[in-house]
Amino acid sequence: MSENIYLIGFMGSGKSTLGKEIATTLDYNWVDLDHYIEAHQKTTIKELFDRFGESTFRKLETSSLKDLIPKRQLVVSTGGGIIVTPENISLLKSQTTFYLKWHFDTLYNRVCDDKNRPLVKSYEQLLALYNKREQLYKEACTKVIACEGKSIEVITQEIIRLMEVEDENSSY
Ligand code: S3P
């Protein structure tokens, strides 16, 4: 097993928490794409949105994703909007990408008070965004993980098992 693992899903789906867990279990390195962008740009995501707008952020998101693809043994936690850029969908689809799927209300309760997420607005606006993106996550992933009602540990084990199965199959 050496390929990178990419985690995608809406805001609040636990991409970072799970990414760290999976990386520790597999002895991979963990990269959070938002942190990667912030470190390279020496600013915050909120500041990037406020000063330069979402489209500048999206370009940085694609170039950062492209930086990481040639590397090995990484677990990459992406930002929730990675799939709004069509190029990213084909990049992710060509990799091992898990879509962490939760019910909207679970996600809303986790992110509704977060002032650092520039796209978190009213319940209705966020629900519309979720509905618009749902199909894009499915297009970009290689496997949907139904997360509702499961603990981080259970989801981690599910993903590790899928990686092991893929590895066993590819060694024949
Ligand atoms: C975004 C999600 C955020 C961050 C940015 C845009 C989105 O990441 O990349 O605020 O468009 O959904 P998280 O999913 O980690 O909150």
pLDDT of residue 119: 85
Which residue's CA is minimally distant from atom 4 of ligand 1?
79
pLDDT of residue 64: 98
Place of tokens 């990675």: 82
User: What region, left, alpha or beta, does residue 167 occupy, with left being phi > 0 and alpha being psi -120 to 50 degrees?
Assistant: alpha
Q: Do the Cβ atoms of 102 and 155 come closer than 8 Å?
A: no
- Ligand 1 neighbourhood includes 33 CB (under 6 angstroms): no
Q: Do the Cβ atoms of 156 and 22 come closer than 8 Å?
A: yes
pLDDT of residue 54: 95
pLDDT of residue 116: 83
| C-alpha–C-alpha distance, residues 121 and 145, integer Å | 26
Phi, psi (rounded to 5 degrees) for 3: -70, 160
User: Which parts of the chain register pLDDT below 70?
Assistant: 1-2, 171-172
Is CATH 3.40.50.300 the classification given to domain 5-155? yes
109 CB neighbour count, 10 Å cutoff: 11
pLDDT tens-digit readout, 28-77? 999 999 999 999 999 999 999 999 999 999 999 999 999 999 999 999 99
Pocket-testing residue among 117, 120, 127, 131, ligand 1, by greatest number of atoms within 8 A of Cβ: 117
The domains of the chain are located at: 5-155
